[in-house]
Structure formats: C-alpha cells, structure tokens
Amino acid sequence: MPNSSPITAIQHPIFAHAKIKVYVKRDDLIHPIISGNKWRKLKYNIALAKASGKTGIVSFGGAYSNHIHALSYACKLNQLNAVGIIRGEPHYLSNATLSQASSWGMDCQFVDRLTYKHRNQADYLAQLQKKYANYLIVPEGGTNQLALKGVAEVITELDQQLDYDTIITPVGSAGTISGLISADDNRHPILGINVLKGAHYLKEEIEHLLSNQTQNLNNWQLFNDFHLGGYAKFSNDDANTLAKINQQMGITFEPVYSGKMMLGFLTLVEQGYFEAGQTVVLLHTGGLQGINGLLERKKLASDQWPWQLVQ
Ligand SMILES: Cc1ncc(COP(=O)(O)O)c(C=O)c1O
C-alpha cells in the first residue's frame, strides 16, 4: 500500500487578490479505493487486527459510507473478514457503495436507526463482540486512537513537503482533525469545516479524542456554518459552483466533505480571514466513490459529475 501523498498548488483569482498561496494535500491519490482519510484511519487498525490474529473487522456506517466502502476493500487485501453494521434497509445492498463492498466480501448487516444509535454503547458492543468473538470492532468512520496515529502521518509528510502556515480539513466524526492537531503540537492553526448541521458536540468530541495528550492542544478552530444545509445536503447552485471549481483546478472535490471544505475556505478567503503572505494547505480527504451514490440518487447531474469508476 502506498503510504504518502503529493501536494498540488492550486490557483484562483481570489487567492492572488488575498496574496496567499494554496496547496492541496492529495490524500485522494493514496489509493483508488482506500483513499483519503480512510487509509490514514484504517492503517493501524488493520495492522492491529493482523498482529493480534483477528479473524476480521466489524464496523459501522450509513448506506453510502466511504468508510464502509474502503474498509471492505482493505480487509479483502489483508485477508480479513469484514462485517458492516449498516444503518438502513437491506434494499441498499444494491446501491453503488454497498454493492461494491459486498462484492469484495463484506457481510452487510442492516439495522434500524434506533439500533444504530447504540453503536457506541458498551452493552451493545459487548453483544456484538460475543457474536463476532475474534473480530476487532472499529467505530463509525474508523475514528479511534489508532486512526489519530495514522492521520498524524499527514503532518510528518507535510513537514517534509513545504513550509506552511495553516491546514484545513473537513470534519465529520472528528478523527481526522484530531489526528492533525495531535501531531502538529500547536505549531500551525488547524481549521475544521464541520459538514454537519448543529453538530456542536464535535468540539467536545475533539477534546475527548485529544484528552490523553500531554500538552494542551488549543491551536485549532471549528467552523460550523459551512454545512450547506446538513450532512450530504447541498443546493444545485452549490453543486454547479463546485463542478466549475473542479474543472478550473483539475481536482475533484465531492460535495459531501472536501467540496464543503473548499466552498467554506473560499468564503473565508473572501472575508479576509488569511493574512497576506500565508501558505494554506487543504487536506483532500478522498471519498470520491460517494459521487456515484449521489449520481444514482440524482443529487448530481451526470454531465457535470462523471461517474468515479472504481474496480
Ligand atoms: C471523504 C471524507 N472526508 C472527510 C471525512 C471526515 O473525517 P472525520 O470523520 O475523521 O472527521 C469523512 C468521514 O469520515 C470522509 O468520508
């Protein structure tokens, strides 16, 4: 498995106007399937499962989850069984995400929303562990301390790739931003674009994930107003704007995570948030397979958003 990703400089008239330099850390290029933060977060979980002789991995996700999609393929590559506890009904098995996950060997177990809410509760997890005795249970989105360790490697790579002032990342379950914060040690501001509406608990979640760190890591900020309506929500105008940006920059940012980061970032630049002379790095967290599900549900137009083929 490749371990590092390149950086790409991107241009936009408002970057020139604000006198800032902008780079994208291309974790979307890490692997055609296990891309972006998925590989960073799974790397040490997979290593633990293998080193401790586990039969497989059980994890959780929605019907279009990037994490579930990547986990199924990572398990296949590593001769581990994969069980996905999926929120929703069995008919989702034929969708673009889960049809691939199951073709790679994942056993998708569908649960109703109420059961899914128990996914982090000790008694539910104990029951699951009893059922899947020799399996490693990994939380939704892959977010745990081993995920932070994997994401920390983004900082190690960046430190060798360029001098930079600020890093920006999308935030869903907070594992990625917490990994960046833990490795950066207050050296650079880390800005998170929250892709969920009203998820103010994420600030506490980040603090919780960082609670075992020895020093007080406080050089970060979460932006809660760039969710475009809520998780996986966006208007046709947002999708059109993003499609144009993608075309201009030659990089695909999907509208659920990295696209919301990009649009939020452009707003911050317009608001004069960044001082002249700064170099900003946007972390592309991958997840391009999600475009297929959005095309399938007609949330994106196929003439602007090509199908993201993955084999
Ligand atoms: C493509 C993509 N980017 C970003 C995120 C957000 O990362 P995190 O959940 O670690 O906050 C996710 C969800 O895990 C994702 O699938």
pLDDT-based confidence at 37, cuts 50/70/90? very high
Q: pLDDT tens digits, residue range 218-270? A: 999 999 999 999 999 999 999 999 999 999 999 999 999 999 999 999 999 99
280 residue type, one letter: V
The answer, yes or no, to whether residue 1 has pLDDT greater than 80, is: no
pLDDT at 311: 62
Domain assignment present for 244: yes
- Residue 136 vs residues 50, 147, 152: alpha-carbon distances, Å: 10, 14, 22
User: Is the same domain home to 106 and 247?
Assistant: no
pLDDT at 132: 98
Domain assignment present for 311: no
- CA contacts within 13 A on the Cβ side of 289: 26
User: Is the same domain home to 177 and 130?
Assistant: no
Q: Which among 5, 29, 66 is the best mutation to test ligand 1's pocket, defined by most ligand atoms within 8 Å of the CB? A: 66
pLDDT at 3: 74
Q: In angstroms, what is the span from residue 220 Cα to ligand 1's centroid? A: 17
User: Is the same domain home to 138 and 283?
Assistant: no
Domain assignment present for 1: no
User: Is the same domain home to 92 and 218?
Assistant: no
Q: Report the side by side order of strands in the sheet with 56-61.
A: 107-111, 81-87, 56-61, 135-137
Q: pLDDT tens digits, residue range 163-218? A: 999 999 999 999 999 999 999 999 999 999 999 999 999 999 999 999 999 889 99
Which 3 state secondary structure label does DSSP give 207?
helix
State the average pLDDT over residues 51-68: 98
95-117 in b/e form (b: 16+ CB < 10 A) is: bbbbebbbebebebebbeeeebe
Tell me which residue has its CA closest to atom 12 in ligand 1: 172
Domain count of the fold of the chain: 2
Domain that holds residue 149: 7-33+144-296
The answer, yes or no, to whether residue 294 has pLDDT greater than 90, is: yes
pLDDT-based confidence at 2, cuts 50/70/90? low
User: For 150-268, where are the E strands, in sequence order?
Assistant: 166-171, 190-194, 220-223
Domain assignment present for 2: no
Tell me which residue has its CA closest to atom 6 in ligand 1: 172
User: Is the same domain home to 134 and 164?
Assistant: no
292 CB within 6 A, ligand 1: no
User: Is the same domain home to 20 and 49?
Assistant: no
The tokens for 214 are: 């020895």
Q: In angstroms, what is the span from residue 202 Cα to ligand 1's centroid? A: 13
Residues 6+ apart with CB under 8 A from 132: 55, 56, 58, 83
Domain assignment present for 304: no
Domain assignment present for 303: no
More confident residue, 154 or 213: 154
Atom of ligand 1 nearest to the CA of 290: 1
CATH of the domain at 24: 3.40.50.1100
User: Is the same domain home to 216 and 89?
Assistant: no
Sign of CA dihedral 292, 295, 300, 301: positive
User: Is the same domain home to 184 and 253?
Assistant: yes
Mean pLDDT of the chain: 96
State the average pLDDT over residues 46-70: 98
User: Is the same domain home to 174 and 68?
Assistant: no
Of 84, 113, 142, the residue that ends a domain is: 142
252 CB within 6 A, ligand 1: no
pLDDT at 309: 79
Of 115, 142, 169, the residue that ends a domain is: 142
Domain assignment present for 192: yes
Domain assignment present for 307: no
User: Is the same domain home to 126 and 149?
Assistant: no
User: Is the same domain home to 148 and 258?
Assistant: yes
User: Is the same domain home to 20 and 157?
Assistant: yes
Q: pLDDT tens digits, residue range 4-29? A: 999 999 999 999 999 999 999 999 99
Of 82, 112, 142, the residue that ends a domain is: 142
